[in-house]
Amino acid sequence: MTDGTAVDSRPTKIMYVAEATAHGGRDGYVTSQDGQIELKVAMPPALGGDGNGTNPEQLFAAGYSACFHNALVLVGRRAGYDLSGSTVAAKVGIGPNKQRGYGLAVALSVSLPVVEREVATKLVAAAHEVCPYSNATRDNIEVTILLG
């Protein structure tokens, strides 16, 4: 919010819980409790690895883009728009932070070819308020939204 008031974005009711386990960190594999995910993970070459597997940043990008797109379709439907043909792509960057650890930055590229730019801008802003990933990352990591 622009007035400096903190917004509590914690859920009031848990409707679903996802469960996954990492084995071996960034050079191992991840599994989901329901068996839908069983992936080899590896450090990307840019971070000194062989890149022979997915990595947490790719998984985060996939989750954020899917979640944001769903929020966008939801707010579009509520506003009376059919957003068929729209897409959301996410880029997740990782690098050192000032606290001697690592941080993330996200860029979301939104394509809404079926609506005018002014409407698209409003729908994207509304989706950013609805999306659980946006709410979780707000004021924690840099999230840039590009409207194409």
Question: What's the burial of 145, exposed, middle or buried (CB within 10 Å: 0-12/13-18/19+)?
Answer: middle
- The pair of structure tokens assigned to 94 is 């990782």
Residues with Cβ < 8 Å from 13, sequence gap 6 or more? none
| CA 14 – CA 1 distance, rounded (Å) | 24
Fold of 55-147: GMP Synthetase; Chain A, domain 3 (3.30.300)
pLDDT in tens, 33-72: 999 999 999 999 999 999 999 999 999 999 999 999 999 9
Say which residues have a Cβ less than 8 Å from residue 137's Cβ, sequence separation at least 6.
64, 106, 143
pLDDT digits (tens, 9 = 90+) for 17-34: 999 999 999 999 999 999
The domain defined by 1-54 folds into N-terminal domain of TfIIb (2.20.25)
Range(s) of the chain covered by CATH 3.30.300.20: 55-147
Alpha helices in 38-84 (DSSP H): 56-78
pLDDT per residue as tens digits for the range 75-131: 999 999 999 999 999 999 999 999 999 999 999 999 999 999 999 999 999 999 999
Q: How confident is the model at residue 1 (pLDDT cuts 50, 70, 90)?
A: very low
Domain ranges in the chain with CATH number 2.20.25.10: 1-54
> Taking the CA of residue 1 as centre, how many other CA atoms within 13 Å lie in the half-sphere pointing to its CB?
7
